Amino acid sequence: QDTHAWSGRFSEPVSELVKKYTASVTFDNRLAEFDIEGSLAHAAMLNKSGVLSDADLAAIRDGMAQIIADIRAGNFDWSVDLEDVHMNVERRLTDKIGDAGKRLHTGRSRNDQVATDIRLWLRAQIDAIVVLIAELQTSLLDLAEQHADTVMPGFTHLQVAQPVTFGHHMLAYVEMLGRDAERMSDCRKRVNRLPLGAAALAGTTFPIDRHYTAQLLGFDDVCHNSLDAVSDRDFAIEFTAAASLVMVHLSRLSEELILWMSPRVGFIDIADRFCTGSSIMPQKKNPDVPELVRGKSGRVVGHLIALVTLMKAQPLAYNKDNQEDKEPLFDTADTLIDTLRIYADMMRGITVKPDAMRAAVLQGFATATDLADYLVKKGMPFRDSHEVVALTVRHAEQQGVDIADLSLDTLRQFSTLIEQDVYSVLTPEGSLAQRDHVGGTAPNQVRFQIARHRARLAG
């Protein structure tokens, strides 16, 4: 049985249940390589400050290299008796190199150590996520480019509203993901600061050089208050909030894919490799991946609530509550990374059915606003044209046809301002072409936005 670093203080060991309850090594061991990176920087700083000898530093480097090799080879036995990743690694180091291993923790506490490890780990996750968001944006841009002219109904209230292009619809998600990437990069600035040197809570009596440690670890700055450095997890909450928004955006897209793939809508098909069948109904092909993304968005939002609630009401400085930050944080990053990966691939496996989309536009009086705008351009006040077109739509509906199918004579019964040129605005293509301004759905605007995004992603 491994004895604790603090066994001298206690007269009896904790029970097995307490040991299991308080240990975090079963999940925080994934921080091991970041923990070692932090320890090596700390040791180098102690050496530079004259606190640790050259021989000790060399021994620590050698021992840590062996430990990394052991971990990668699966030869590291994580012990629950040693509670967490930090004490497991430190004990293994001491077993390997003796007293030099025991000197590593000089001027340091697990409190600043764990805060440093999480920041190093989270920084790497954010960097991966930013790349994956860009990959998903690229696959959406490819789809948008193929369908810059493809007419589909735009909806409000899930009722047919006005024609848009499928490309324009995809670009809406490219915009959302662009803001998501910005939020991730912005959050990274606050993640990328060094807690080490705060020690347990008040700093240390050793002549440390925190800026040197920060520089070695690639941190932009140090945390400037030792109490704050060890106790706040706001950076983790901020990341989880940003991750929640990505998941919410992908949940909205998932909901649309599911709806569009329903045979009652039939706008798209999703490649078989992202769907599953039914164990009882032979005909089924279910959009499991988007459904799971929609479901997993709830899980990530749940982690956000867990972390905010964890932080709330903790007095300064470190409290053991903070050990509970890891599982929600890890699962948030894992879920988001897997979701982004699978989504980029899934969007390449979407088949668009332009005929079904166009038919839906023609059934929904989607160009009614275009007729109202046409009358305004001929001199009628908008509120009057709105009324005229409403009556026209009612008539067309009774006849079971689209307004573009009504004869000129029929249309002129509603307003004599209507002339032959009206038909060019009543087709879906005419409607799209007229919305030719920045942010509009006209196909050349869609192409312009695609080019803008591509330049941004390349730059």
Q: Compute the Cα dihedral for 439, 445, 447, 448 and give only its sign.
A: negative
State the minimum distance, in angstroms, from the CB of residue 118 to ligand ARG: 8
**Is 114 one of the binding residues for ligand ARG (CB under 6 A)?**
yes
State the minimum distance, in angstroms, from the CB of residue 31 to ligand ARG: 9
**Is 88 one of the binding residues for ligand ARG (CB under 6 A)?**
no
Subset of 424-453 contacting ligand ARG (CB under 6 A): none
β pairing state of 159-165 and 151-156? antiparallel
Alpha helices in 218-353 (DSSP H): 226-231, 234-261, 288-311, 326-348
- Residue whose CB is less far from ligand ARG, 92 or 169: 92
**Is 35 one of the binding residues for ligand ARG (CB under 6 A)?**
no
Query: 152 burial class (0-12, 13-18, 19+ CB within 10 angstroms)?
Result: buried
**Is 24 one of the binding residues for ligand ARG (CB under 6 A)?**
yes
- Residue whose CB is less far from ligand ARG, 87 or 293: 87
Return the ∠ at Cα 57 (arms to 78 and 42), rounded to 5°: 70
**Is 91 one of the binding residues for ligand ARG (CB under 6 A)?**
no
State the minimum distance, in angstroms, from the CB of residue 287 to ligand ARG: 39
**Is 236 one of the binding residues for ligand ARG (CB under 6 A)?**
no
State the minimum distance, in angstroms, from the CB of residue 439 to ligand ARG: 47
Q: Which stretch binds ligand ARG (CB under 6 A): 232-240, 261-269, 296-304, 319-327?
A: 319-327
Q: Which of 11, 157, 279, 407 is catalytic?
A: 157
- Residue whose CB is less far from ligand ARG, 33 or 84: 84
Q: Are 431 and 162 in contact (CB under 8 A)?
A: yes
Whole-angstrom distance, CA of residue 352 vs CA of residue 443: 17
Instruction: Tell which phi-psi region holds residue 185, choosing left (phi > 0), alpha (psi between -120 and 50) or beta.
Output: alpha
**Is 39 one of the binding residues for ligand ARG (CB under 6 A)?**
no
Whole-angstrom distance, CA of residue 35 vs CA of residue 151: 54
State the minimum distance, in angstroms, from the CB of residue 134 to ligand ARG: 32
State the minimum distance, in angstroms, from the CB of residue 355 to ligand ARG: 57
Identify the residue among 37, 84, 238, 331 touching ligand ARG (CB under 6 A). 84
Task: With CA atoms as reference, report the closest residue to 170 among 459, 452, 446.
Answer: 446
State the minimum distance, in angstroms, from the CB of residue 230 to ligand ARG: 9
Q: Which of 7, 53, 262, 278 is catalytic?
A: 278
| Residue 254 known to be catalytic | no
**Is 111 one of the binding residues for ligand ARG (CB under 6 A)?**
yes
Q: Rounded to the nearest 10 degrees, how much is the dihedral formed by the CA atoms of 284, 290, 293, 294?
A: -90
**DSSP letter string over 345-409?**
HHHHTEEE-HHHHHHHHHHTTTTHHHHHHHHHHTT--HHHHHHHHHHHHHHHHHHTS-GGGS-HH
Q: Which stretch binds ligand ARG (CB under 6 A): 8-16, 180-188, 318-326, 380-388?
A: 318-326
Identify the residue among 125, 138, 204, 322 touching ligand ARG (CB under 6 A). 322
| Residue 407 known to be catalytic | no
State the minimum distance, in angstroms, from the CB of residue 114 to ligand ARG: 4
Number of residues that bind ligand ARG (CB under 6 A): 9
> Collapsing DSSP states into helix, strand and coil, what is residue 178?
helix
Number of residues that this document lists for the chain: 459
**Is 323 one of the binding residues for ligand ARG (CB under 6 A)?**
yes
Maximum CA pair distance of the chain?
101
Q: Which residues pair with 286 in a beta bridge?
A: 276
Q: Which stretch binds ligand ARG (CB under 6 A): 9-17, 165-173, 249-257, 317-325?
A: 317-325
Identify the residue among 92, 103, 105, 110 touching ligand ARG (CB under 6 A). 110
Whole-angstrom distance, CA of residue 354 vs CA of residue 266: 10
**Is 320 one of the binding residues for ligand ARG (CB under 6 A)?**
yes
Return the ∠ at Cα 401 (arms to 436 and 370), rounded to 5°: 20
- List contacts with ligand ARG (CB under 6 A): 24, 28, 84, 110-111, 114, 320, 322-323
Residues assigned a catalytic role: 157, 278
